[in-house]
């Protein structure tokens, strides 16, 4: 259990190993991510690991750290299509009945896309590169992860990393125009995941930042889903509905920024 006396090596091991092993049940003995919820949960953990260890890259052996993040990025790209299509199906299911009834073909198209993405994912899970990734995650001891400043207290670094991530997010959120909101969401995820990982070490002072970043991530996620739906549909009803949704999301976003920044 991490606390304020945790060393660099203990924090890195917890972030890189514990989060990964929580997902191993769906990867062994035969990788199976046919359940879309499992795909979502796995992708969240992958992105959590990317955010935390990317923020702490200066504490890792440079070559190992780059290779590790490259592996996580590759797996993220492999599993994301399934979750992305499911997000659109979920969005469609929340449409007014009047739109759903007249646009059933869109629903069928998305379901077919989901089946294809699931088949491709299951195939990708059998590739040697994925098996290599699993081996890469199989950390048994702190010493199995090469990091720098191993025995120093990690709190001294985490306070600075969290402050930097929050300042970067704040500046981006205040200045962002509509075309930059997706990048703001990426920065919000970084703040959220790093803060959540750091709370056992630093304490509850980070909870406010984590809460704000979590709402930013969620709300801008709705906006991104709307943009994606517009890209796959040519239905005038759907396009008009999504246009109104995006307008409301952006109005709420501006109010949120004024209250919190």
**Domains defined for the chain, CATH in brackets:** 1-152 (1.40.20.10), 154-261 (no CATH)
The residue whose two tokens read 């203990």 is 10
Any idea how long the chain is?
261
Mean pLDDT score, 215-234:
96
Q: What is the pLDDT of residues 175-215, one digit of tens each?
A: 999 889 999 999 999 999 999 999 999 999 999 999 999 99
Give SS3 for 166.
helix
Which DSSP state fits 7? Answer: B
Question: Picking from 13-17, 110-114, 160-164, 249-253, which range would have the lowest pLDDT averaged per residue?
Answer: 13-17
The residue whose two tokens read 């899970």 is 125
Q: Which of 140, 8, 4, 1 is nearest to 65 (CA)?
A: 8
d(Cα 56, Cα 77) in Å, to the nearest integer?
22
Residue 259's pLDDT is 95
């Amino acid at each position: 259990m991490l606390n304020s006396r945790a060393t660099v090596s203990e924090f890195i091991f917890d972030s890189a190993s514990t989060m990964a092993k929580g997902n191993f049940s769906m990867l062994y003995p035969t990788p199976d991510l046919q359940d879309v919820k499992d795909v979502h949960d796995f992708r969240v953990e992958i992105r959590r690991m990317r955010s935390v260890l990317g923020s702490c890259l200066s504490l890792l052996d440079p070559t190992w750290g780059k290779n590790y993040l490259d592996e996580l990025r590759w797996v993220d790209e492999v599993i994301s299509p399934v979750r992305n299509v499911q997000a659109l199906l979920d969005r469609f299911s929340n449409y007014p009945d009047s739109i759903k009834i007249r646009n059933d073909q869109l629903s069928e198209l998305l379901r077919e896309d989901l089946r294809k993405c699931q088949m491709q994912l299951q195939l990708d899970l059998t590739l040697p590169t994925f098996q290599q990734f699993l081996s890469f995650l199989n950390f048994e001891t702190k010493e199995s992860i090469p990091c720098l400043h191993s025995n120093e207290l990690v709190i001294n670094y985490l306070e600075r990393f969290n402050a930097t991530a929050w300042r970067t997010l704040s500046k981006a959120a205040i200045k962002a125009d509509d075309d930059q909101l997706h990048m703001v969401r990426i920065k919000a995820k970084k703040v959220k995941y790093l803060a959540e990982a750091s709370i056992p070490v630093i304490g509850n002072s980070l909870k406010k930042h984590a809460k704000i970043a979590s709402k930013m991530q969620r709300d801008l996620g709705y906006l991104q889903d709307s943009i994606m739906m517009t890209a796959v549909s040519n239905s005038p009803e759907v396009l008009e509905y999504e246009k109104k949704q995006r307008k409301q999301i952006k109005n709420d976003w501006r109010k949120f920024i004024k209250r919190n920044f």
